[in-house]
Amino acid sequence: MIKDTPEQHFFKYAWPCTEIILTDKRIPQQRFDDLKYAIENNITPSREILEDTYKVAFANLKELAERLSKEQNKEINYWDMEVIQRYFTEAEHNMFIESEKAFFCKFPPAVKDLCKIHTAVIDKIEVISDRIILFVKYKDDKGEEKERRCLNIYNLEIKPQDKVIIHYGYIIEKA
């Protein structure tokens, strides 16, 4: 069960995209540094900062909320936890990465795969250069088994064989 606020939950999932947004010059270095400080110190940025930083994600969340509102015949806000959860964990985010409207379309397949959210299994945990590295295995969109090294920046209690959600090189939450 999710215990995060919508802002916390969004930021946990969105943080891995921040370096790409910086590299693509969509945010200044100072914003990146402020967000890095926030993620490292368990500080949740305001909705205003999140929306200003992750503009593309919020355009997608608004579109998804509108679609869900029509399907369910009721008003649904894009900050609703159901919308955020569905966007990140039910393939909406991954479909967007593959879409022609995404700035990701110029990226090679390996980078696109890194940017996607996957369910993975912890294979092993090692300490490398004083950092705890989690080796995870997952299946890509083609069903091919892949391995990735990830960090557990949210300090989840996890062990080998646990199922987790990964985004870029980060463990986001238990699956």
**pLDDT at position 56:** 92
- Proportion of the chain above pLDDT 70, given as a percent: 98
**Which tens digit of pLDDT belongs to each residue from 17-54?**
999 999 989 999 999 999 999 999 999 999 999 999 99
Residues 130-141 have a mean pLDDT of 94
2 falls in which pLDDT band (50, 70, 90)?
low
Whether this model's pTM surpasses 0.75? yes
- The Cα–Cα gap between 125 and 35 comes to 27
In single-letter form, the type of residue at position 88 comes to: F
- The Cα–Cα gap between 41 and 100 comes to 36
**pLDDT at position 57:** 94
**Which tens digit of pLDDT belongs to each residue from 87-106?**
999 889 999 888 877 677 77
Q: What are phi and psi of 15, to 5 degrees?
A: -50, -45
**Residue 150: closest CA among 107, 175, 121:** 121
- The Cα–Cα gap between 17 and 168 comes to 8
Does 73 score more than 60 pLDDT? yes
**pLDDT at position 67:** 94
108 falls in which pLDDT band (50, 70, 90)?
confident
- Proportion of the chain above pLDDT 90, given as a percent: 81
**pLDDT at position 148:** 97
Place of tokens 């593959």: 98
What's the mean pLDDT when you consider all of the chain? 93
- The Cα–Cα gap between 101 and 153 comes to 31
Which domains does the chain show, CATH number per domain?
A: 6-110 (no CATH), 116-174 (2.30.30)
